[in-house]
């Protein structure tokens, strides 16, 4: 412990990160009767599941969809009191490449069938948080250092240290490796694998525009488009349940905007919407832009150029380092890595592993 820091102890596990993986871990451990502290760097829960209120509902600046084959998420929703609705797919899609005007396709090959959260994807995080015992979660607590050893782990923030039997890293492994100091150092294969594990969607800009009405639907368009004539590549309808708020969103590679101010990105988004959907797109009620590559608590400041998805679900993430340090972000999931479903699956695995090792230890102590 660093001299002068407040120190607290007594938890079975400290979970680092209150995204979907961390909250799932904390929830599952508490349901298994374990004591948990969850430390979150941001002033909000949800991580890459981030929604903002718009009219009676919300728009998603990070994750949006889940799919029919994702069983964990679907089994969670009723117990959390969360509703879902179908992604709107009706109408024609647009394809915009060389022709002066976007080409109207017959139907919509861009959108597959998917589900959305009635109150936005972040509502999953809020509902999981509401289920935690009071005092479990502490916001605005960036973890800076972790010591782990035979008898447990100590997690340090700028002004406090927290000791527990186990620590669960519910942050992307490459971010953890870059931003947190580990003592002892992570074993070489774990460190190398973590550095090479790209943050899913960590190099993406997402922009959302809301409108007073869904003029594209009135014109028989779905709102979806693939474009090669501007920085934004992929467009989708993002209207709320029953159509309110009316909204469109798009993704762009963050590399297209390096160093550009956010209002320039918003302008480029609006210009592209006008080119695709006409003059009515020029007057949105609001535009929200998130460049996930600039988010300190999502993407490392200097990601390894060789990082990719080939390490997703790597076996090193399944085992606790030194029997004490567990991995739980979506990138570490055996299935659906990258998705919300993967975050839940990885969180459940980490909770099972902590409980199993903890039980073994208790039996050994008898």
Ligand X SMILES: Cc1cc2nc3c(=O)[nH]c(=O)nc-3n(C[C@H](O)[C@H](O)[C@H](O)COP(=O)(O)OP(=O)(O)OC[C@H]3O[C@@H](n4cnc5c(N)ncnc54)[C@H](O)[C@@H]3O)c2cc1C
Select 166 or 206, whichever has its Cβ closest to ligand X. Answer: 206
Select 34 or 339, whichever has its Cβ closest to ligand X. Answer: 339
Binding to ligand X (CB under 6 A): which residues in 185-214? 200-201, 204, 206
Using CB under 6 A as the criterion, what x/- string covers residues 331-360 for binding ligand X? -------xxxxxx-----------------
Residues in the chain: 366
Per rule CB under 6 A, is residue 221 in the interface with ligand X?
Answer: no
- How far apart are CB 308 and ligand X at their closest, in Å? 16
Select 94 or 155, whichever has its Cβ closest to ligand X. Answer: 155
- How far apart are CB 99 and ligand X at their closest, in Å? 29
- How far apart are CB 329 and ligand X at their closest, in Å? 4
Per rule CB under 6 A, is residue 145 in the interface with ligand X?
Answer: no
Contact yes or no for 229/216 (Cβ under 8 A): no
Of the candidate spans 58-66, 78-86, 128-136, 311-319, the one that interacts with ligand X by CB under 6 A turns out to be: 58-66
What phi and psi, each to the nearest 5 degrees, are found at residue 30?
-65, -40
Binding residue for ligand X, selected from 89, 293, 330, 345, defined by CB under 6 A: 330
Select 102 or 324, whichever has its Cβ closest to ligand X. Answer: 324
Burial of 192 (0-12, 13-18, 19+ CB in 10 A): middle
3-36: b or e for each residue (b if 16 or more CB lie within 10 Å)?
Answer: eeeeeeeebbbbbbbbbbbbbbbbbbbbeeebeb
Closest C-alpha among 161, 171, 76 to residue 115: 76
- How far apart are CB 104 and ligand X at their closest, in Å? 26
Closest C-alpha among 326, 337, 358, 335 to residue 22: 326
Q: Strand 145-149 vs strand 160-169: parallel, antiparallel, or unpaired?
A: unpaired
Per rule CB under 6 A, is residue 21 in the interface with ligand X?
Answer: yes
Closest C-alpha among 202, 233, 230 to residue 331: 202
Contact yes or no for 329/169 (Cβ under 8 A): yes
What phi and psi, each to the nearest 5 degrees, are found at residue 17?
110, 130
Structure tokens at 364: 């050994």
Number of residues that bind ligand X (CB under 6 A): 42
Closest C-alpha among 53, 72, 50 to residue 122: 50
Give the residues across from 163 on adjacent strands.
9, 154
What phi and psi, each to the nearest 5 degrees, are found at residue 151?
-105, 0
Of the candidate spans 60-68, 100-108, 239-247, 307-315, the one that interacts with ligand X by CB under 6 A turns out to be: 60-68
Per rule CB under 6 A, is residue 294 in the interface with ligand X?
Answer: no
With both helix axes pointing from N to C terminus, report the angle between 340-365 and 71-80 in degrees, rounded to the nearest 10.
Answer: 80
Per rule CB under 6 A, is residue 19 in the interface with ligand X?
Answer: yes
Binding to ligand X (CB under 6 A): which residues in 111-140? none
Per rule CB under 6 A, is residue 287 in the interface with ligand X?
Answer: no
Collapsing DSSP to helix, strand or coil, 143 comes out as coil
Select 22 or 240, whichever has its Cβ closest to ligand X. Answer: 22
Of the candidate spans 169-177, 232-240, 307-315, 356-364, the one that interacts with ligand X by CB under 6 A turns out to be: 169-177
Per rule CB under 6 A, is residue 63 in the interface with ligand X?
Answer: yes
Select 221 or 343, whichever has its Cβ closest to ligand X. Answer: 343
Tokens 């948080």 belong to residue = 129
Per rule CB under 6 A, is residue 245 in the interface with ligand X?
Answer: no
Binding residue for ligand X, selected from 17, 102, 152, 223, defined by CB under 6 A: 17
Per rule CB under 6 A, is residue 22 in the interface with ligand X?
Answer: yes
Binding site for ligand X (CB under 6 A): 16-22, 39-42, 47-49, 62-66, 142-143, 170-172, 175, 179-180, 200-201, 204, 206, 292, 297-298, 329-330, 338-343
């Amino acid at each position: 412990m660093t001299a002068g820091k407040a120190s607290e102890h007594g938890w079975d596990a400290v979970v680092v990160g209150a995204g979907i993986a961390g909250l799932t871990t904390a929830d599952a451990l508490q349901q298994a009767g374990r004591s948990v502290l969850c430390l979150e760097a941001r002033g909000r829960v949800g991580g890459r599941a981030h929604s903002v209120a718009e009219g009676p509902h919300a728009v998603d600046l990070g994750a949006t969809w889940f799919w029919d084959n994702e069983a964990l998420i679907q089994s969670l929703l009723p117990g959390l009191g969360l509703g879902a609705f179908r992604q709107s797919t009706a109408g024609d899609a647009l394809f915009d490449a060389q022709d002066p005007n976007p080409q109207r396709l017959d139907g919509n090959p861009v959108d597959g069938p998917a589900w959305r959260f009635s109150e936005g994807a972040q509502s999953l995080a809020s509902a999981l948080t509401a289920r935690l015992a009071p005092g479990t979660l502490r916001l605005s607590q960036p973890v800076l250092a972790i010591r782990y050893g035979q008898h447990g782990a100590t997690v340090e923030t700028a002004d406090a240290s927290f000791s527990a039997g186990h620590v669960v890293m519910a942050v992307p492994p490459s971010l953890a490796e870059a931003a947190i100091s580990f003592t002892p150092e992570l074993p070489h294969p774990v460190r190398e694998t973590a550095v090479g594990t790209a943050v899913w969607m960590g190099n993406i800009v997402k922009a959302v525009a809301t409108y007073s009405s869904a003029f594209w639907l009135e014109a028989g368009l779905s709102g979806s488009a693939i474009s090669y004539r501007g920085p934004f590549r992929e467009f989708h309808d993002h209207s709320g349940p029953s159509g309110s708020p009316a909204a469109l969103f798009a993704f762009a590679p963050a590399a297209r905007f390096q160093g550009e101010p956010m209002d320039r990105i918003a302008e480029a988004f609006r210009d592209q919407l006008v080119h695709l959907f006409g003059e009515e797109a020029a007057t949105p009620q609001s535009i929200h832009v998130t460049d996930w590559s600039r988010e300190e608590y999502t993407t490392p400041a200097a990601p390894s150029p060789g990082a990719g998805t080939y390490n997703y679900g790597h076996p090193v993430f399944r085992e606790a380092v030194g029997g004490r340090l567990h991995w739980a972000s979506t990138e570490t999931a055996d299935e659906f890595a990258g998705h919300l479903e993967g975050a839940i699956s990885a969180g459940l695995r980490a909770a099972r592993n902590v409980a199993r090792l903890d039980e073994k230890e208790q039996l050994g102590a008898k």
